[in-house]
Amino acid sequence: MLLWLVSAVQDSHERPLKTGWSEDILVPSHGLEPLSAYPLVPPDRNLLPTFPVNWNFAANNLLPGWRCRVSGRNLWDMGTVSHNGATWLGIILVDLRLFALESPLISLTGTQVQSVRMRGRVRRSEDFEGTVIFQLVTYSEKPDGTLEQVAVNGFEVRDTRGEEKDTFSINRKVELPKRVTHLRFRIETTFKGALYVEQPFLTAEQTARGKK
């Protein structure tokens, strides 16, 4: 059972807020080191950074490989837990706030990727209120080397139930226009309560050489 955040929500009003927070939080404040999808070995490898095991914000406010954004002071707790062999990132917000988690830029140079697939699961506390959206942001590299945003493909996680009670899953294929050279994966939520996000997956679905 995933009990860490559920119990934390229950006693949240009896605990002091974490200190050192400004109105809008961006951790880290600087950009992330870009990743490369090349080479696609194995062809279905996850292009996203791996959630660390037993990570907790109180001990280290940098989630390796990821960037977190919170609107306001009311991020109560955040950390990773293990459940059924998978690593889940848990977040608590004590009132309705924006929370976003984003990957580094991922270069597609040399891959001939034509489409990708996003997969993930989330669990929510009984008192959860809000939305969870998985996004794929695509970019095109201009002649001067700068990036221009092409599109934001967003999918709300809802309705489709996973195998476990209160687990919601998403499995979406996204076609990529030929001009797309870079990707960024993002989870954007506006909620209060407790939310668990299982290690997400972004894989190459199809290349110019055919389907994987």
Q: What are the tens digits of pLDDT across the range 126-176? A: 889 999 999 999 999 999 999 999 999 999 997 555 556 678 999 999 999
Determine the pLDDT at residue 9: 40
Q: Among candidates 157, 103, 168, 104, which has minimal Cα distance to 133?
A: 157
The Cα angle at residue 33 between residues 22 and 200, in degrees rounded to 5: 80
The model's pTM is 0.85
Q: How far apart are CA 86 and CA 70, in angstroms?
A: 25
Given 3-state DSSP classes, what are the helix, strand and coil percentages for the chain, each rounded to the nearest 5? 5, 50, 45
Which tokens hold the place of 171? 């499995």
The CATH number of 4-211 is: 2.60.120.260
Structure tokens at 118: 């996003």
Instruction: List the pLDDT tens digit at each of the 212 positions of the chain.
Output: 444 444 444 443 333 334 334 456 778 878 899 999 999 888 889 999 999 998 988 778 789 999 998 887 555 688 999 888 899 999 988 888 899 999 999 999 999 999 999 999 999 988 899 999 999 999 999 999 999 999 999 999 975 555 566 789 999 999 999 999 999 999 999 999 999 999 999 999 877 755 54
CA–CA separation, 30 vs 28, rounded Å? 5
Residue 2's pLDDT is: 46
Domain residues of the chain, as ranges? 4-211
